[in-house]
Structure 1
Amino acid sequence: MPDTSYDTIVIGVGGMGSAAVYQLAKRGQDVLGIERYDIPHRRGSSHGDTRIFRLTQPEHPDYVPLAERARTLWRRLEAESGADLLTTTGSIHAGPEGSEVVAGAVDSCEAHDVPYEVLSGTELNERFPGYELPDGHRGVFQPDGGYLACERAISTHVEQAFSHGATVRAREAVREVDIGENDVTVRTDRDEYTADSLVVAAGAWAGKHLEFLSDFLTPERRIMGWFQPQAPDRFDPSNFPVFSVDVPAGHYYGFPVFERSGFKIGMTPESPAPIDPDEWDDEPTVDDERDLRRLLDDNFPDAAGETLRLTTCIITSSEDGHFYLDTHPDYGHVSIAAGFTGHGYKFCSVVGEVLADFATDGATDNPIDVHRFEERI
C-alpha cells in the first residue's frame, strides 16, 4: 500500500499552493499537494496567460515590501528553472486627478522610496501611443512593473517541487478536513491522508474547507478578453506598460500582447454578484464582450479590432480588501492563504514562502501584519 502520511498537505495547487508545495519540498518536507482540477486549470484565478506584477500598491503601502520580496523570489525561480516568468514593462495606475487610485499609488511609492513619475493623460499618451486617456487624468508610471506568465509559473513551481521530491495529485477533490490538536486528516474522493500540518490555498473553495472562513470570503465572477490591435506595434511589451485605470466606463486593467495574439484586458464590475464556485456560469456572454469593448472604444482605440478570445475566472474577495495570510486562529499547524480580491497573483512566490515558514517554523519574518486574522474576523 502507498504511504498516505506526510509532513504537510497543501490543499489547492494553483498560484499560491504550487509555490507553497515548492517551498516546502525545497526545505526537505515530505509534502503532498492536492488539486481538484488540472494543473494548471481555468476554474480559479491563476489563468489567462498573464497576470500583473507591480511594486505600486494603492491597496496599502505595507504591500510594497511583500511585492519586492516576491520579485526576488520570482527571479530566483527563473534562475533555478531556466523559465521566463516575469517580464518588465513598467506599470501605470491612472484615474482622474485627485482620485484615490492615483493618490494611493503615489503614497505607496513614497512610503518605500520606489521610483515613479506622475504624467498627465496627454503626456502618458505621447510616451505610450497605445493609450488615449483624457488630459484631466493622471497616470503613475513605475518602471519595475510588468507581467507574469501565470500558467507557466504554476507549472514551473510544480516541476521544481517534483525535483525536490514533492507529491502532487490532480483531479482529486477534497471532501473532508479533520483538524486534530497536533495533526490533520484529509479525505478526498480517492483516498485518506494524514499530516503534521496543513496549508489551505484553495481559492474560492477555502471557505468550504474551513467553515470559519465562509462568512469572510466572497467568490465572484470576472471576465477577460483578447482583441486584435489595429496598430500592433503600439501594444508590444517593449513600449506598452501594464495598466490599471479608472475611466468613465469603469475600472479596467490590461497587458501588452504576449505570445498568443491579442491585447488582453479585464474589468472589475462596480457591483459584483457573489457566486458558488461549484455552480456558476463560466461561459462569456455578449454583454461581457460589450462591457470590455467600452474601454477599447474610448481609451485604446488602436486595439479595438476583432475579438479573439473571451474567458471567465473566479476571484475571491475578503471583507476588507486585504487578503488573509496567517495560521488558523485555533490551530497553529494549519496555515491559510485566501481572499486575494483580484490582485494577489503577483505575490504567489512570497506567499508560498510565508506558508512554508508557518508549516516549518510556526512564524515568518515577512511583513504580513495587515494580512493576519487578528482583529479582522
Structure 2
Amino acid sequence: MTAQFDVAVIGLGAMGSAALAFLSARGVRAIGIDAHFPAHALSSSHGDSRLIRLGYFEDPSYVPLLQRAYENWRMLEARLRTDVLTTTGVLQIGAPDSKIVAGTRASCALHSLAYEELDRQAMAARFPAFSLDEGEIALLDPQGGYIRPEIAVMGYLTTAAADGAVLHLGEKITSIEPDDAGVTITSPLGSYRAGKVIVSTGSWIAELVPQLKQHAVPIRQVVAWYQPRNGFATQPQRMPVFLRDEGAEGSYFGFPAIGADGVKVGRHAHFREPIDPNQPNPPVNETDTALLDGFVAKRLPAVSGLRVNATTCRYTMLPSEDFLLDFMPGSSRVVVASPCSGHGFKFTSVVGEILADLAADGGTDLPINAFSFESMERFVARSVG
C-alpha cells in the first residue's frame, strides 16, 4: 500500500530539515526522506560553525530575509532550550572600495543597520588578531556571529518528529513523478504519494531536477583549524567572526577559537573544483593547506601556529551565486530548494518557512522573486550574451 502525505521533503540537510519542521508545526502530514543520516560529512551542513551577518554585501535585497532568519533562529533556540546562534560581531575587512566593504556599507545604509568603521590603528588596538595593510578598514556588524550547523539540523529534525513528521533516513529517492492529483515518489524500498514535494538535496539536486543539470555545480570546499599562537587574542570576546576581501585572490572567512581545534579559516569557493556528488570528496592536499596556511601567516599573526585539522565539505553553485527557491517549471506540485551557492546556511531558518509556505499555501509573502528559475535563466542568458 502506498503511503499518503500532504508534503514530502526529499533531502534533510539545512533547508529540508527546517522545511519539515515548519510544515509539521502547522499540522501538515509530512514525511522527510534522506539518503544519508543528517548531519553527514558529504553534505554542506556540518563543520561546527557557519557565519551569520546582517550587513549583506552580496545584495541588500537579502537583508529582510536575514532579519526574519534571526527571529526564527531565536524561536528554535527557545524551543530547544539551547544556543544555536552566538553573537560575536562580524568584521568585514578590506580596501574601502572593495566588494565586501563597499557592499556592506551600502547594505547597511539602505536598511539603516548599525555598524562601526575601524581603521588600521583601531583594529590593532581592539582586535589584535588581525593584520591590516595601510589604507584598509574593517566594518563591524555588531549583530553578526555564528550558527552551530549540526545543532540546527538535528534540532529541526527533532522538533519535526515531535510534531508528527515521519522520518526515513538512509533511503535514496530515485524518481519523482508529478501528475494532476499529486506526486509519486519512488525509492528502492517502495513508493509514496504526496500532494506536494520539496526537493532539497543539495549537491544531488540535478538528479531529481533535470533543469539544473547544466547550472547547479557541486564544488569542493576546504576549511582548516589552527591552534593559535596567542590564545588570548583569539577568544570570541576579542576576535569576531570575519570576512576578508583579498581582491583578485577572492575572499576568506574565519571564526575565533570556539572549539577544541581552535580558529577555523577558509576561502569562499576555495579553488572552485567541480566534484561528482556520488563520490567521496577528494581529500585535503598540500595545495589546499598551503593556500590557507599562507593566508593565516599573512593576515592572522596571532593565529599562525599549529594547523591541527583540515576537512572538506561542498558548495553547490548557481552561475549567479544566488539561491533557487521556486516551483519546478511545468509543475506547481514540486518545490525546488537550493542550490544556495555557498552562503545559504545562515538563511536556513527563514528558507524553511518559505518552503513550507510554497508547499502548503502555494506562495509566500517573503521576498523571493530574485530566486526563481526565470531569474536564473535571465542571468545565464546575459552571461552568454
Could you tell me how far 1:136 is from its partner in structure 2?
2.0
- Structure 2 partner of 1:110: 109
Deviation at 1:193, TM superposition (A): 1.2
Asked whether the equivalents of residues 87 and 143 of structure 2 are also in contact (C-alpha less than 8 Å), the reply is yes
What is the match of residue 264 of structure 1?
264
Superposed, 1:1-377 pairs within 5 Å as 4-247=3-246, 250-268=250-268, 272-377=272-377
Task: State the 1:364 CA deviation.
Answer: 0.5
C-alpha separation between the residues in 2 aligned to 1:22 and 1:281?
29
Aligned letter for 1:108?
S
Residues 141-162 of structure 1: CA distance to partner in whole angstroms, max 9, x if unpaired? 1100000001011010011111
Q: What's the CA shift string for 1:298-338, capped at 9, x where partnerless?
A: 01121122122111011011121211112223211211111
Q: 2:88–2:241: 8 Å Cα contact kept in structure 1?
A: yes
Q: Return the letter of the residue paired with 1:340.
A: C
The 3-state SS of whatever aligns with 2:222 is strand
> Cα offset for 1:202?
0.8
Cα offset, 1:123, TM superposition = 2.0
The residue type paired with residue 345 of structure 2 is Y
Tell me how far 1:191 sits from its aligned partner. 1.9
Listed one character per residue, the Cα deviations across residues 265-315 of structure 1 (whole Å, up to 9, x for unaligned) are 111357512222113533211221111111110011211221221110110
Secondary structure at the residue paired with 2:207?
Answer: helix
CA separation of 1:282 and 1:271: change in aligned 2, threshold 3 A? closer
Distance 1:164 1:42, change over 3 A: same
Change (3 A) 1:182 1:213: farther
CA distance in 1, matches of 2:124, 2:274: 36
Larger deviation, residues 319-328 vs 121-130 = 121-130
C-alpha deviations, 1:345-377, integer Å up to 9, x for none?
Answer: 000000000000011110111111221223432
Q: Distance in 1 between matches of 2:39 and 2:15?
A: 12
Question: What is the alpha-carbon distance in structure 1 between the residues aligned to residue 220 and residue 181 of structure 2?
Answer: 37
Post-superposition CA distance 1:77-109 (Å, at most 9, x none): 101110210000011111223112211111111
Structure 1 residue 137, shift from structure 2 partner: 1.5
Q: Cα deviations across residues 127-182 of structure 1 (Å, max 9, x unaligned)?
A: 11111121321212110000000101101001111110111111111111212123
Quote how far apart the aligned CAs of 1:234 are: 1.3
- Structure 1's 74 and 234: CA in aligned 2 closer, same or farther, altered over 3 A? same
Local SS of the residue matching 1:302: coil
Contact 2:54 2:143 in 1 (8 A): yes
Q: 1:117 and 1:135 mapped to 2: Cα distance?
A: 19
- After superposition, the Cα gap between the structure-2 partners of 1:188 and 1:237, relative to the gap in structure 1 and judged at 3 Å, is same
- Work out the CA distance in 1 between the residues paired with 2:344 and 2:260: 23
Whether the 8 Å contact between 1:36 and 1:174 is mirrored in structure 2 is: yes
Unaligned runs of 5+ in 1: none
Q: Which amino acid aligns with 1:42?
A: A
Structural RMSD (CA)? 1.5
Between 1:72-81 and 1:284-293, the stretch displaced more is 284-293
Distance 1:247 1:198 in 2: 41
Is the CA contact 1:83–1:156 (under 8 Å) kept in the aligned structure 2?
no
Distance in 1 separating the partners of 2:39 and 2:269: 26
Moved more, 230-239 or 62-71: 230-239
In the TM superposition, structure 1's runs of 4+ consecutive aligned residues that sit over 6 Å from their partners are none
- Other-structure match for 2:381: none
Partner of 1:265: helix, strand, or coil? strand
User: In terms of mean alpha carbon deviation, does 257-266 or 62-71 score higher?
Assistant: 257-266
Q: Which runs of 5+ in 2 are unaligned?
A: 378-385
Counterpart-to-counterpart distance in 1, 2:116 and 2:81 = 33
CA contact (8 A) 1:182 1:333 kept: no
| Structure 2 residue matching 1:62: 3-state secondary structure | helix
Distance in 1 (CA, whole Å) between partners of 2:55 and 2:373 is 24
**In 2: Cα distance, 1:318 partner to 1:122 partner:** 39
> Which letter does structure 1 place at the counterpart of 2:68?
R
Letter in 2 for 1:279: Q
- Which one is further off, 69-78 or 203-212? 203-212
- Measure the CA separation in 2 of the matches of 1:168 and 1:270: 34
1:213-243 deviation digits (Å, cap 9, x = unpaired): 2222111101011110111121112221111
CA distance in 2: counterparts of 1:282 and 1:172, whole angstroms: 24
Task: After superposing the two structures, state which structure 1 stretch, 274-283 or 337-346, moved more.
Answer: 274-283
Normalising by the residue count of structure 1, what TM-score does the alignment of the two structures yield? 0.96
